[in-house]
Structure 1
Amino acid sequence: MRATLRWAHADLRAHRGQSLFVVLASAGIIASLLLAVAMFSYAANPWQRIFTQSKGAHVWLHTGAGADPSALSGLDGIAGVSGPYRTGRATLESRGVRASVALRAADTRPPEIARPLITEGRWLDGRTDGADGADGVVLESSVARVLWAEPGDSLTVAGPDGSARTLRVAGVAEAAEPRYRPGGEPGIGWVLPGTFDRVAPKSTGQSVGLRLDDPADIDFTVQQAVTLLGADRVAQVTKWQQARADAGGDDRLLGQLFAVFGLGALLAAALAASGAISARIRGQLRDISILKAIGFTPGQVIRGFLVQHLAFALLGVTLGTAAIALLGARIPGRIGEAAGVWQDLPGHTALMAGVPAGAVLLIATATGLAAWRAGRVPPVPVARAALPSAAPMTSLGRRALGTRVPPALVLGWRAAFPRRPRTLITVARLALPLLMITVALVAWSTLDLFRSHPAHVGVPAALTVRAEQPGSLTEAELNRVLTESPGVAAVHPGVEVAALVPGQTGTITLRGLGTAGAPYPFAVVEGRPADGLDEAVAGQGLLDLLDVRVGDWVRMTVEGRPQILHIVGRSIEPESGGRVISTTVDTLQERDPELRPDFQHLVLRPGTDPRAVSSALAATAGGALEIRETANPADRLEPARGVIAALIGVLALIGFIELLTLISTGVRDRGRDLLALKAIGLTPRQVSSAIVAAAGFTAMVAAVLGTGLGVLSGSWLVDTQGRSSGMGAGIAHVPPTLLLASVVAGAVLGAVAAAAVPATRTARRRLADSLTETL
Structure 2
Amino acid sequence: MRATVRWLRADLRTHRGEALFLVLATAGIIASLLLAGAFLTYAANPWQRVFTQSSGAHVWIHTKASADAGTLAGLDGVRAASGPFPTAGVTAELGGDRAAVRLRAAGARPPAVGRPLPVSGRWLGPGTPDGVVLESSVARALWAEPGDALRVRGPDGTVRRLRVVGVADSAEPRYAPGENPGTGWVLPAALERLAPEEDRRGLAVGLRLDDPEDTDFTVQQAVTALGADQIAEVSTWKQARAEAVGGDRLLGLLLGAFGIGALLAAAMAVAGAVGTRVHGHLRDISVLKAIGFTPAQLVRMFLAEHLALALAGVAAGALLTELLGPHLPGRTGEAMRLWRELPEHTWVPLVTAAGAVLLIAATTASAAWRAGRVPPVPVARAAVPAGRRMSGTARRALGLRLPPALVLGWRGAFHRPGRSAAAVGRLAVPLLLITVALSAWSTLDRFESRPEEVGLAASLVVRGDGMDDGELRRRLAAEDAVAAAHPGSEAEALVPGQTGTITLRGLGTARDPYPFSVAEGRAPRGPDEAVAGQGLLDLLHVDVGDWVRMTVGGRPQVLHLVGRSIEPEDGGRVVSTSLDTLREGGAADGPGFYRLVLAEGADPAAVGARLSRDADGGLDVRETANPADRLSSVRGVIVGLVAVLALIGLAELSTTIAAGVRERRRDLLALKAIGLTPRQIMAVIVAGTGFTALAATAAGTLTGALAAGWLIDLQGAASGIGAGIARPPSPAALALMGTAVVAGAIAVSVPPAARAVRRRLADSLSDTL
- 1:258-407 paired onto structure 2 within 5 Å: 258-385=255-382, 388=385, 392-398=389-395, 400-401=397-398, 405-407=402-404
Cα distance in 2 between the residues matched to 1:719 and 1:319: 39
Aligned with 2:640 (options 646, 651, 654): 646
Cα distance in 2 between the residues matched to 1:425 and 1:564: 58
State the shift of 1:277 in Å.
0.9
**Partner SS state of residue 465, structure 1:** strand
Instruction: State the partner residue of 2:425.
Output: 428
Matched, 1:658 2:652: yes
Instruction: State the partner residue of 1:567.
Output: 561
CA offsets 1:77-127 (integer angstroms, 9 cap, x no match): 33234467798999999999999896876557x75434455678998999x
State the shift of 1:274 in Å.
0.8
Residue identity matched to 1:583: T
Aligned with 1:539 (options 533, 540, 555): 533
Instruction: State the partner residue of 1:177.
Output: 172
Matched, 1:454 2:448: no
State the shift of 1:4 in Å.
4.5
Cα distance in 1 between the residues matched to 2:134 and 2:677: 71
CA offsets 1:555-596 (integer angstroms, 9 cap, x no match): 555556554433322211223433333221222333349743
Instruction: State the partner residue of 1:706.
Output: 700
**Partner SS state of residue 714, structure 1:** helix
- 1:578-657 paired onto structure 2 within 5 Å: 578-592=572-586, 595-657=589-651
Cα distance in 2 between the residues matched to 1:314 and 1:328: 20
Cα distance in 2 between the residues matched to 1:104 and 1:750: 62
**Partner SS state of residue 489, structure 1:** strand
Residue identity matched to 1:333: G
Cα distance in 2 between the residues matched to 1:501 and 1:225: 38
State the shift of 1:709 in Å.
0.7
Instruction: State the partner residue of 1:752.
Output: 746
Q: Structure 1's 504 and 163: CA in aligned 2 closer, same or farther, altered over 3 A?
A: closer
Instruction: State the partner residue of 2:156.
Output: none
1:157·1:199 contact (CA, 8 Å) conserved in 2? no
2:95·2:620 contact (CA, 8 Å) conserved in 1? no
Q: In terms of mean alpha carbon deviation, does 599-608 or 141-150 score higher?
A: 141-150
Cα distance in 2 between the residues matched to 1:234 and 1:697: 72
**Partner SS state of residue 325, structure 1:** helix
Instruction: State the partner residue of 1:33.
Output: 33
TM-score by length of 1: 0.84
Q: In terms of mean alpha carbon deviation, does 544-553 or 310-319 score higher?
A: 544-553
1:88·1:200 contact (CA, 8 Å) conserved in 2? no
Residue identity matched to 2:170: A
**Partner SS state of residue 525, structure 1:** strand
**Partner SS state of residue 774, structure 1:** coil
1:467·1:599 contact (CA, 8 Å) conserved in 2? yes
Residue identity matched to 2:22: V
Residue identity matched to 1:304: M
Cα distance in 1 between the residues matched to 2:751 and 2:96: 65
Instruction: State the partner residue of 2:155.
Output: none
Q: Structure 1's 429 and 618: CA in aligned 2 closer, same or farther, altered over 3 A?
A: same
Q: In terms of mean alpha carbon deviation, does 712-721 or 570-579 score higher?
A: 570-579
Residue identity matched to 2:686: V
CA offsets 1:585-635 (integer angstroms, 9 cap, x no match): 222333349743333322222333333333344344454544443332334
Cα distance in 2 between the residues matched to 1:764 and 1:438: 38
**Partner SS state of residue 286, structure 1:** helix
Residue identity matched to 2:341: D
Q: Structure 1's 637 and 93: CA in aligned 2 closer, same or farther, altered over 3 A?
A: same
Cα distance in 2 between the residues matched to 1:650 and 1:619: 49
Q: Structure 1's 189 and 624: CA in aligned 2 closer, same or farther, altered over 3 A?
A: same
2:137·2:182 contact (CA, 8 Å) conserved in 1? no
State the shift of 1:716 in Å.
0.2
Q: Structure 1's 556 and 360: CA in aligned 2 closer, same or farther, altered over 3 A?
A: same
Instruction: Give the unaligned 5+ runs of structure 1.
Output: none
Aligned with 2:664 (options 670, 673, 685): 670
Cα distance in 1 between the residues matched to 2:401 and 2:121: 66
Matched, 1:524 2:518: yes
Q: In terms of mean alpha carbon deviation, does 450-459 or 363-372 score higher?
A: 450-459
Q: Structure 1's 397 and 137: CA in aligned 2 closer, same or farther, altered over 3 A?
A: farther
Cα distance in 1 between the residues matched to 2:653 and 2:477: 60
Cα distance in 2 between the residues matched to 1:63 and 1:544: 38
State the shift of 1:62 in Å.
7.2
Instruction: State the partner residue of 1:495.
Output: 489
Instruction: State the partner residue of 1:408.
Output: 405
Instruction: Give the unaligned 5+ runs of structure 2.
Output: 153-158
Instruction: State the partner residue of 2:80.
Output: 80
Aligned with 1:484 (options 456, 478, 481): 478
Cα distance in 1 between the residues matched to 2:456 and 2:301: 63
Q: Structure 1's 67 and 625: CA in aligned 2 closer, same or farther, altered over 3 A?
A: farther
1:95·1:618 contact (CA, 8 Å) conserved in 2? no
1:85·1:106 contact (CA, 8 Å) conserved in 2? no
Cα distance in 1 between the residues matched to 2:72 and 2:534: 50
Cα distance in 2 between the residues matched to 1:389 and 1:666: 20
Q: In terms of mean alpha carbon deviation, does 62-71 or 690-699 score higher?
A: 62-71
1:96·1:626 contact (CA, 8 Å) conserved in 2? no
State the shift of 1:450 in Å.
2.1
State the shift of 1:263 in Å.
1.9
- 1:727-746 paired onto structure 2 within 5 Å: 727-746=721-740
Residue identity matched to 1:382: V
State the shift of 1:238 in Å.
5.6
Cα distance in 2 between the residues matched to 1:503 and 1:8: 74
State the shift of 1:715 in Å.
0.6
2:26·2:313 contact (CA, 8 Å) conserved in 1? yes
Instruction: State the partner residue of 1:21.
Output: 21
- May I ask how many residue pairs the two structures share in their alignment? 758
TM-score by length of 2: 0.85
Residue identity matched to 1:303: R
Q: In terms of mean alpha carbon deviation, does 633-642 or 78-87 score higher?
A: 78-87
State the shift of 1:670 in Å.
1.8
Matched, 1:58 2:51: no
**Partner SS state of residue 490, structure 1:** strand
State the shift of 1:536 in Å.
1.9
CA offsets 1:200-235 (integer angstroms, 9 cap, x no match): 967699876442323444466568779999999999
**Partner SS state of residue 706, structure 1:** helix
State the shift of 1:199 in Å.
12
State the shift of 1:428 in Å.
0.2
**Partner SS state of residue 631, structure 2:** coil
1:530·1:569 contact (CA, 8 Å) conserved in 2? yes
Q: Structure 1's 340 and 359: CA in aligned 2 closer, same or farther, altered over 3 A?
A: same
CA offsets 1:50-100 (integer angstroms, 9 cap, x no match): 212332223456799999987765554332344677989999999999998
Q: In terms of mean alpha carbon deviation, does 116-125 or 511-520 score higher?
A: 116-125
Q: In terms of mean alpha carbon deviation, does 416-425 or 397-406 score higher?
A: 397-406
State the shift of 1:656 in Å.
1.3
1:90·1:158 contact (CA, 8 Å) conserved in 2? no
CA offsets 1:412-451 (integer angstroms, 9 cap, x no match): 2222222421100100000001111111121222122223
Q: In terms of mean alpha carbon deviation, does 550-559 or 340-349 score higher?
A: 550-559
1:391·1:414 contact (CA, 8 Å) conserved in 2? no
